[in-house]
Homo-oligomer: A and B are copies of this chain.
Amino acid sequence: MQDQLSLTFAALADPTRRAILAQLSKGQANVSDLAKPFLKDMSLPAITKHLKVLEKAGLITKTREAQWRPCRLNGEAFKDVADWIEQYRIFWEQSFDRLEAYLETVTQRTSPKGKEHGREDSVQRDPHHPDL
């Protein structure tokens, strides 16, 4: 899995971890604080592991204070994700426009419309984006 961005996306691909991040967005918290909402569903070591994943992904920072490990969000990893997704903005904005256009042409139709075997020259529009 190597690269940092993959690690970050992988870390985000879990509802428990996203919930932990949501909790941390309200302020710093210790491991047991973070674990509390989940202890009916899973053990403390499970949370420790989740935190380790989040830490390696750069999404959180864990410090030491006596026997506690206060955790806080680390903005930079979020920025990496935001920067990556940003280059696709045109696509989600575009599809919203298309949805509206579509809804206007179809408001009274009932059949979802099977597709034609036409030349399908309707290329997707090419904003010619810088890649990666």
Contacts and interface: CB of A to CB of B under 8 A. Distances in A.
Contact of A75 (B15, B82, B94, B122): B94
B28 A132 contact: no
Q: Which of A26, A30, A89 has the most CB of B within 10 A?
A: A26
A6 B10 contact: no
Q: Give the contact-size bracket for chain A.
A: 35 or more
A17 B68 CA distance: 39
B75 A26 contact: no
A56 B72 CA distance: 33
Contacts of A22: 129, 131-132
B12 A113 contact: no
Given A1-B13, A9-B13, A26 B111 contact: yes
Contact of A115 (B15, B28, B117): B28
Interface string A14-35: 1100110111011111100100
Interface string A64-78: 111010101111101
